[in-house]
Amino acid sequence: MNKTSLVWGTWLSILLISCSDKTVKNEEQTYLVVNPIIKDTTYEREYATTINSFQNVEIRSKVKGFVENIYLDEGQKVKKGQILFTLNSKEYEQHVHKAEAAIQSTIAELRASEIEVENTKKLFDKNIVSKSELDLITTKVNINKAKVNEARVAKEQAILHVEFTKIKAPFDGIINRIPNKKGSLIDEGALLTSISNNESVFAYFSVSEIDYLDYVQSKSKNNTVTLSLANNSIYPYKGTIETTETEFNKETGNIAFRAKFPNPERLLKEGGTGKILVKKLYKNVIIIPQKSTFEVQGNIYIYLVDKNNKVYSKKINPINRLSNYFVLDKDLTKDDKIIYEGIQSIKTGDKVNYKLIKN
């Protein structure tokens, strides 16, 4: 026997001994195995959300003028119809008086033309004046009636402007920042403040097309959601999904949902942020521990033990990943035996001893 043959013989002996030792080791070691769990389960999806008040509007001036009085402070609760601001109204009150004088003047003109019609009609009856003259005087009466109506509309408009100098709350709510102080000259349309009704709030959040379809097609639809606040605390009141937008955002592929939350303590404010937690129910699904899996080139596998105690690998296709588990809707049965621990030390074809862990 030459030297090369001796070397190869030595290596072959070592390899056989090593394989034999590993087989003996695997047969001597007892591996823990588990059966898949088949049951209903739920999980939560998180979606970023922004908070909007049930009612939130800007209060603007409808007329130009000086801020004469401010009857409230920032952050104060107000009632519907309560006067919030008054502007200097003297100029608009003068317009009312002027409009009233115009009404009286046009009424006098109307009365004079009506008398003239009466007199002209008597002359017409005696064939002293022509029909055209009577028609001319009658037309003058109609013109004066129109002037009276126009003067009355002008007065109503002037009164309305006076009323516009009293800015009132459109609904019960809380007053926000007041940028203009007493004595400020403001233009028509100037922002005086904004008011929010926070007795309930809307939380808007966007979901993918897949999540949207899962929700609307679910036979056990759950429209109750939870709100996680910006400090990660859970809001104590549940919300209800009320509606969705009518179309998907072309850039993101998402669609917005709107949930409504009660807000009795007025904790939630316009512009707040948080996360909507939506529970999804999986019915009769397969659940396996994540620690029993391994990944190869982006695919997920497990080791199973067959009836001859031999190990073989199987690719699985999870439909979701929970905290410590994978959720499947196929691939396994409740009687399959999954290697729970020690998958790093075995390979396909190994014969092993195992102990079944009861779920």
Q: Which two tokens stand for residue 234?
A: 């859970």
pLDDT in tens, 213-224: 878 877 666 789
What does the pLDDT read at residue 10? 43
What does the pLDDT read at residue 123? 84
| 40 vs 336, more confident | 336
104 has a pLDDT exceeding 90: yes
What does the pLDDT read at residue 344? 87
Confidence class of residue 117 from pLDDT cuts 50, 70 and 90? confident
CA-CA-CA-CA torsion sign (213, 217, 219, 224): positive
What does the pLDDT read at residue 6? 42
What does the pLDDT read at residue 217? 79
Spatial distance between the Cα atoms of 103 and 151, rounded to a whole number of angstroms: 5
Mean pLDDT, residues 84-94 taken together = 92
Mean pLDDT, residues 348-352 taken together = 92
What does the pLDDT read at residue 219? 61
The backbone region for 196, taken as left when phi is positive above 0, alpha when psi lies in -120 to 50, beta otherwise, is beta
146 has a pLDDT exceeding 90: yes
What does the pLDDT read at residue 357? 86
What does the pLDDT read at residue 350? 92
17 has a pLDDT exceeding 70: no
CA-CA-CA-CA torsion sign (170, 190, 270, 209): positive
Spatial distance between the Cα atoms of 108 and 112, rounded to a whole number of angstroms: 6
Which residue from 60, 80, 271, 278 is spatially nearest to 173, judged by alpha carbons? Answer: 80
**Which domains are assigned to the chain?**
29-41+285-357 (2.40.420.20), 44-54+198-281 (2.40.30.170), 89-164 (1.10.287.470)
In this structure, the dihedral spanned by the alpha carbons of residues 72, 74, 77 and 82, taken in order and rounded to 10 degrees, is 30
What does the pLDDT read at residue 185? 94
Spatial distance between the Cα atoms of 340 and 359, rounded to a whole number of angstroms: 12
DSSP state for residue 310 in the 8-state scheme = B
What does the pLDDT read at residue 210? 84
Across all residues in the chain, what is the average pLDDT? 87
What does the pLDDT read at residue 57? 94
| 257 touches 206 (CB < 8 A) | yes
13 has a pLDDT exceeding 80: no
**Which percentage of the chain shows pLDDT scores above 70?**
91
pLDDT in tens, 148-195: 999 999 999 999 999 999 999 999 999 999 999 999 999 999 999 999
Q: Is 331 strand, coil or helix?
A: coil
pLDDT in tens, 266-309: 999 999 999 999 887 778 889 999 999 999 988 999 999 999 99
Confidence class of residue 1 from pLDDT cuts 50, 70 and 90? very low
pLDDT in tens, 308-332: 999 999 999 988 888 788 988 888 9
Q: C-alpha distances in angstroms, 86 versus 18, 180, 230, 308?
A: 97, 12, 39, 92
Q: Which of 6-10, 107-111, 123-127 has the lowest mean pLDDT?
A: 6-10
User: The pTM is what?
Assistant: 0.64
22 has a pLDDT exceeding 70: no
pLDDT in tens, 227-267: 999 999 999 999 999 999 999 999 999 999 999 999 999 99
